[in-house]
């Protein structure tokens, strides 16, 4: 499901001494089926933009088109249920929103709220638990007895239980250890493949952008300052620094080599790409020479 912003402005608390303009003239498209990363330094407007993706916030001016649905400043708060079902948002630290006495009930809560029978919602809960890589034996446990990583997966299962077509992730790996982060990111990649989802990832982790995203939106001071494929975004390290953004580790390493006279046909983004480029440039003897027929 594609999402398009046209000339969107958003102001918090307009007409008060606390008035803050958070979005200015946003024009962008999140392509259907894309894995879009939304990046920008603190306060650039990412969370504000994210809340427009399912009309939790409505533009102060301009339009947001989500699939067939057009949201304008005049859109009523009624009748947004379907939209909220289609666009599932996993907020930061989603485990803080768990509240039911069992994992199964917590995951089933959303569908039941949308009129699904208890039996069907519990069946969905079991399927979703599987989808997020947790064992069925957890269904009857209290969510508060689980580890932090498991709790987060349960919260994500609750969002997936609504069968969204767009999954929005706000810093989903915050607070996890490196292995937990990798597992979580791999889980989203698998979910996207298996469920044909459009994914929107808000992140400060440039490695995740390089490894997973196919489309990037860069924000600065409430404006979109660049959009493009990761390779396009990361090819200009000075521009990134000027916008207080880092480079993926692999790209930063390649940049150091470039500064020492190495050349790359393309800026390597992932470890695999860097390894392939380095091997191609090193003399075969560096690896003990190419095997001969005698060996
Ligand atoms: N509820 C609010 N009321 C008033 N101003 C707000 C509110 N939420 C955010 N802002 C302001 O809007 C601007 C954009 O903030 P936003 O949280 O969208 O940025 P962000 O890029 O998500 O930041 P971070 O990376 O720290 O999460 C900032 O100037 C912020 O202070």
Residue 185 within a domain: yes
Residue 131 within a domain: yes
Residue 232 within a domain: yes
One domain for residues 138 and 278: no
One domain for residues 257 and 124: no
ipTM of the complex: 0.97
Tell me the CA–centroid distance for residue 179 and ligand 1, in Å. 30
Name the residue with the closest Cα to ligand 1, atom 30: 43
Cβ partners under 8 Å of residue 231, min gap 6 = 266, 267, 269
One domain for residues 211 and 167: yes
Cβ neighbours around 100 below 10 Å, total? 16
Residue 210 within a domain: yes
Name the residue with the closest Cα to ligand 1, atom 1: 12
115-160 pLDDT, tens digit each: 999 999 999 999 999 999 999 999 999 999 999 999 999 999 999 9
**Beta partners for residue 168, in sequence order:** 89, 200
Q: Kindly tell me if the per-residue pLDDT of 288 is higher than 70.
A: no
Q: What is the mean pLDDT of the chain?
A: 92
Cβ partners under 8 Å of residue 131, min gap 6 = 157, 160, 191, 194, 195
Q: Kindly tell me if the per-residue pLDDT of 293 is higher than 70.
A: no
31-45 pLDDT, tens digit each: 999 999 999 999 999
One domain for residues 96 and 172: yes
Residue 84 within a domain: yes
In this structure, which long-range contacts are made by residues 120-126, counting pairs with CB atoms below 8 Å and at least 24 apart in sequence? 121/161, 124/161, 125/157, 125/161
One domain for residues 206 and 274: no
Alpha helix positions (H), the chain:
46-50, 81-86, 103-113, 118-131, 148-160, 178-195, 206-212, 230-234, 237-242, 249-259, 271-281
Rounded average pLDDT over 76-105:
91
Name the residue with the closest Cα to ligand 1, atom 16: 45
For position 285, what pLDDT does the model report?
61
46's tokens: 């990412």
One domain for residues 161 and 253: no
- Tokens 């080599």 belong to 257
The DSSP code for 203 is -
Residue 92 within a domain: yes
One domain for residues 237 and 100: yes
d(CA 210, CA 197): 19
Residue 68 within a domain: no
60's tokens: 């102060």
Q: Which atom belonging to ligand 1 lies closest to the Cα atom of 21?
A: 12
One domain for residues 89 and 165: yes
- CATH code for the domain of 235: 3.40.50.300
One domain for residues 142 and 189: yes
State the pLDDT confidence band at 216, using cuts at 50, 70 and 90. very high
Give this prediction's pTM: 0.91
Residue 71 within a domain: no
Cβ partners under 8 Å of residue 159, min gap 6 = 88, 89, 90, 94, 110, 167
- Ligand 1 close to Cβ of residue 44 (< 6 A): yes
Number of domains the chain contains: 2
One domain for residues 100 and 211: yes
Q: Which helix (H) or strand (E) holds 3?
A: strand 3-12
Domain limits for position 180: 33-43+80-246
- Ligand 1 close to Cβ of residue 215 (< 6 A): no
Buried b / exposed e along 218-229 (16+ C-beta atoms within 10 A): bbbebebebbee
One domain for residues 86 and 207: yes
One domain for residues 160 and 231: yes
For position 266, what pLDDT does the model report?
85
């Amino acid at each position: 499901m594609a999402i398009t912003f046209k000339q969107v402005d958003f102001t918090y608390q307009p007409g008060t001494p606390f008035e803050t303009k958070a979005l200015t003239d946003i024009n962008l498209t999140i392509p259907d089926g894309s894995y879009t990363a939304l990046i920008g330094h603190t306060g650039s407007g990412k969370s504000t933009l994210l809340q427009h993706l399912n009309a939790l916030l409505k533009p102060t001016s301009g339009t947001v088109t989500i699939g067939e649905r057009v949201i304008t400043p005049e859109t009523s708060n009624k009748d947004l249920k379907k939209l909220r079902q289609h666009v599932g948002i996993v907020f930061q630290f989603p485990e803080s929103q768990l509240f039911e006495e069992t994992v199964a009930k917590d995951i089933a809560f959303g569908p039941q709220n949308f009129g699904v029978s208890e039996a069907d919602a519990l069946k969905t809960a079991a399927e979703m638990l599987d989808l997020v890589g947790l064992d069925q034996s957890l269904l009857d446990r209290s969510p508060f007895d689980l580890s932090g990583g498991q709790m987060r997966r349960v919260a994500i299962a609750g969002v997936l239980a609504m069968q969204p077509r767009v999954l929005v992730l706000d810093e989903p790996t915050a607070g996890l250890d490196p292995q937990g982060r990798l597992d979580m990111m791999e889980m989203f990649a698998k979910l996207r493949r298996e469920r044909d989802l459009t994914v929107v990832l808000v992140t400060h982790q440039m490695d995740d952008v390089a490894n997973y995203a196919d489309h990037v939106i860069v924000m600065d001071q409430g404006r979109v300052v660049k959009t493009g494929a990761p390779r396009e975004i990361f090819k200009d390290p000075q521009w990134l620094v000027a916008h207080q953004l880092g480079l993926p580790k692999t790209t930063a390493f390649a940049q150091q080599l470039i500064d020492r006279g190495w050349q790359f046909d393309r800026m390597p983004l992932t470890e695999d790409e860097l390894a392939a480029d380095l091997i191609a440039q090193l003399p075969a003897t560096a690896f003990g020479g190419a095997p001969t027929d005698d060996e």
